[in-house]
Structure 1
Amino acid sequence: MMRIDLNSDIGESFGRYQIDDEGIMPHISSANIACGFHAGDPFTMYETVKLAKKYNISIGAHPSFPDLLGFGRREMNFTEDEVYKLVLYQIGALYSVCKAHKMDLHHVKPHGALYNMAAKNSKLALAITKAIKTFDSSLILYGLSNSKLIEAAIEMNIPYASEVFADRTYQEDGLLVDRSLPLSVHRSTKEAVEQAIQIITTNTVTTISGKIITLNADTICLHSDSVIGAELAAELRKSFHQHQIAVKTVGE
């Protein structure tokens, strides 16, 4: 039987801006919880870890650039040393909440612009992996499949999971289509599910130009802030069952 980890970027409420994570949590196996820099706050982090514990879901830190106004999706100019410290700080913040709930921290997945920049910038990728290794060398890096993040994890000798996306579209070089461009996000649940099944069953994806490229897939992501987030989570699980794809946390 094929298997995949189904993860979601989650816990991204803050202040009066609220996202209902309860609709997604029962369907996923891993939660990437915002650490307060692009979204989330101490109260949201606490409640999201509590919710993950309720559903027995693996917990990951979801660090980003300090960009609350831009939801962490704007490129920012930080040195490698600064990125190392930013990531280290955010991992520690979520770890403290996990400890309070007697839950383990399982993985780290960078968010937004930090993730996308590190996917093609070796120095940033190494700064992120260095922070992870310094904090706990057993933490798994969730990084874009076939990217510099995966190369950095191999170089730093830390565990990693190649991540693919159900609700985002791809360029021919394997990078995600920039969100500022048209058709960068699947708005149709059907299209997102079809893409997910193609990736998992064939290790390929059809790019926005129509070209088919190869992808390794250990974990697949859906976004909680998407308009189809909760519906997509349920439909993915239904389709995985139909295709005999087991949903298991990385390393389980």
Structure 2
Amino acid sequence: MSDDFSKLWLQGNLNQVAITRAQQAIKSLGRALPCRVTSVTGKIVTVEFQMDTTPWTLPPITIPKAESQWLTEPTQIGDEGMTMPADAYLGGISGLGGGNADFRQRGNLTALVFVPVGNKSFSPIDPNAAQIQGPNGTILRTTAGASSIVTNTDGTTITCESTTLVVNASGITLTVGGQTFTWGGTQAVSTLPIKAPDVVLPNGAVNEHNHGNVQNGGGVTDPMQN
């Protein structure tokens, strides 16, 4: 009985065929592998794999980032992450190809997207607050761009159609309907009249104040008094 299995050659061969087919199917699946960005074009990146693939050499691949048109991350060359495989062809929706997806088996390095991976050195400013940043600042805007907030190293600009508020190291500039109000470090300058219930100066309010040495006709009075 000990050598019965060797006599049943068909069963042994079928078992090995099943194992081989399973291994081939696993190898053909998409791969989630560590990688590094080497090129960025809009929402498309080229990555190279960060792993020892000896004796094989994995080529750089160009794949979409895992993000929508509504939120764009400032992905930089050198950013690290991983590839995330899809179960079907992505070229039709990524713009890197044409046609529609189907159930045909693709190469295991084709239907991939890039996903960034966090690092313990990425210390947040406030762990309890959402943080948005980029080398050139951030842009928050409507799709048409009628309203926007742009912040960068030059300052912050808030725009709503023809109204603009600029805050920078020089001060504040507000533009409304073609008229401008500028508040710098030493003075405020306005191209339009300013209407206020009163103005309080160092010597008192403008609405109710006194002057000494008042004379009939033309002349110069003393400074205003309380």
Aligning the two structures, in what range does the TM-score lie when normalised by the shorter sequence?
under 0.3
With CA pairs under 8 Å and 6+ residues apart, which has the higher RCO, 1 or 2? 1
Instruction: Kindly name which structure, 1 or 2, has the bigger radius of gyration based on alpha carbons.
Output: 2
Please state which structure has a larger fraction of its residues in strand.
2
TM (normalized to structure 1)? Answer: 0.18
TM (normalized to structure 2)? Answer: 0.20
